[in-house]
């Protein structure tokens, strides 16, 4: 076998996995809640929050009102942006999958304030976590009107194509297309609560 | 420096040698230069004697000696106070930094539970706490101070 033949074999070996392996799709579900302490004997959890009732029941608040729920699909190392309110935006980036199946993510709650013509932002919370299948990462505490903002996050991985659009006729165009996270419906409604 | 002959003779007399020559007293009375040299030798001998003599603390000197010991102990305590001051300043700096950057290392939950590696906030004076629930959830509580003027 000559040098050209060896080069072709190596090129084929290197190119093959990338061409055939399906991209991983990461589903991220987010429920934003306004939580308050109102001195209730039993916790009041709005019926719209039934999907995350168990997660909310263990938190140190007694009243939970829905703010927004959204589910998005993305890929590893791509940001998902969830607009929660005029004041808060949640950014979630799946980073990797660990050996036990947990998905390592970076979640950031960005707070925004407008003072005159000046817009200021700061990170109210910046978290790196490994979210196990079937469990939640709860982010509590940023001030939201008369209560606290609570965000319940769940993350799962799915096999299959992550491309939200059908393949383009031009491969180059497809590679250059911006990665837009896809919004899904599921147990958590895709639309806002109110 | 090479010594002169008369100096060597004075030294011999000073050491009790040189029998048959003039006595040290006669030489000192007759020759002022020799007298001065004898004075230097006496000073040197006295200094050497004091250097080998053992120092003893008499009863009269003991209170002053003990006071010195106490002062020394006090000075050592002062050094420790300096160490604690540095340690407390470091702790204060860490607490101040903790309001804006806090690394959490809570109880490690089960393998099937959500775990938190790090949680930080930019909010000045805020604290971050972590709680793991029995059903595998991880909860981060951000405590924002009432006077958060941002």
pLDDT tens for B72-97 read 766 655 455 566 666 776 776 666 55
Contact B137 A137 (CB under 8 A): yes
pTM: 0.57
What the block records as the tokens of B68 is 């010195």
pLDDT at B76: 54
Straight-line distance from the first to the last Cα atom of chain B, in angstroms, rounded to the nearest whole number = 84
Shortest CB distance from A128 goes to which of B112, B117, B122?
A: B117
With an 8 Å Cβ cutoff, the interface of chain A facing chain B consists of 54-55, 58-60, 100, 102, 104, 111, 113, 120, 122-143
**Mean pLDDT for chain A overall:** 80
SS3 B112: coil
Q: If you measure CA to CA, which chain B residue comes closest to A99? A: B111
- Quick check: ipTM above 0.90? no
Which residues, numbered 98 to 117 in chain B, qualify as contacts with chain A under a Cβ-Cβ cut-off of 8 Å? Answer: 111-117
Distance from CA of B149 to the nearest CA of A (A): 11
Q: Which residues of B touch A54 (CB under 8 A)?
A: 135
Most A CBs within 10 Å: which of B139, B146, B147, as the mutation test of the A interface? Answer: B139
Distance from CA of A17 to the nearest CA of B (A): 30
Report H helices in chain B. Answer: 5-14, 24-30, 32-52, 62-98
Contact B140 A134 (CB under 8 A): no
pLDDT at B28: 83
Contact A129 B114 (CB under 8 A): yes
What the block records as the tokens of B96 is 């101040």
Distance from CA of B88 to the nearest CA of A (A): 28
pLDDT at B27: 80
Between B17 and B100, name the one with better pLDDT. Answer: B17
Per-residue pLDDT of chain A (194 residues; tens, 9 = 90+): 555 555 555 555 555 444 445 678 999 999 999 999 999 999 999 999 999 999 999 999 999 999 999 999 999 999 999 999 999 999 999 999 998 889 999 999 999 999 888 999 999 999 999 999 999 999 999 999 899 999 999 999 987 654 443 333 333 333 333 344 444 433 444 444 54
In chain A, what are the domain boundaries? 22-158
Span A53-100, pLDDT tens digits:
999 999 999 999 999 999 999 999 999 999 999 999 999 999 999 988
């Amino acid at each position: 076998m000559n040098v050209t033949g060896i080069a072709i074999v190596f090129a084929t070996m290197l190119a093959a996995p990338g061409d055939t392996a399906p991209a991983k799709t990461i589903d991220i579900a987010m429920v934003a809640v306004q939580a308050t302490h109102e001195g209730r004997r039993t916790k009041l959890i709005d019926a719209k929050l039934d999907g995350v009732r168990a997660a909310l029941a263990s938190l140190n608040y007694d009243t939970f009102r829905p703010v927004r729920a959204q589910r998005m699909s993305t890929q590893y190392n791509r940001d998902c942006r969830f607009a929660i309110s005029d004041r808060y935006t949640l950014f979630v980036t799946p980073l990797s999958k660990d050996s036990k199946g947990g998905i390592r993510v970076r979640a950031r709650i960005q707070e925004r304030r407008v003072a005159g013509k000046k817009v200021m932002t700061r990170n109210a919370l910046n978290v790196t976590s490994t979210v196990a299948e079937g469990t939640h990462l709860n982010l509590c505490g940023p001030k939201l009107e008369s209560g606290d903002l609570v965000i319940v996050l769940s993350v799962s991985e799915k096999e299959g194509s992550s491309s939200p659009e059908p393949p383009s006729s031009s491969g180059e165009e497809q590679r250059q297309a911006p990665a837009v996270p896809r919004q899904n419906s599921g147990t958590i409604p895709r639309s806002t609560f109110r | 420096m090479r010594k002169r002959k008369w100096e060597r003779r004075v030294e011999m007399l000073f050491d009790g040698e040189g029998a048959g020559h003039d006595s040290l007293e006669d030489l000192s009375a007759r020759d002022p230069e020799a007298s001065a040299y004898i004075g230097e030798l006496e000073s040197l001998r006295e200094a050497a004697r004091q250097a080998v003599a053992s120092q003893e603390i008499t009863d009269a000197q003991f209170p002053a000696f003990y006071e010195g010991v106490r002062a020394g102990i006090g000075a050592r305590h002062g050094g420790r106070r300096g160490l604690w001051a540095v340690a407390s300043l470091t702790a204060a700096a860490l607490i101040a930094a903790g309001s804006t950057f806090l690394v959490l290392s809570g109880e490690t939950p089960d393998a099937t539970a959500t775990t938190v590696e790090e949680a930080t906030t930019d909010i000045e004076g805020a604290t971050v706490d972590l709680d793991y629930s029995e059903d595998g959830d991880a909860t981060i509580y951000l405590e924002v101070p009432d006077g958060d003027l941002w």
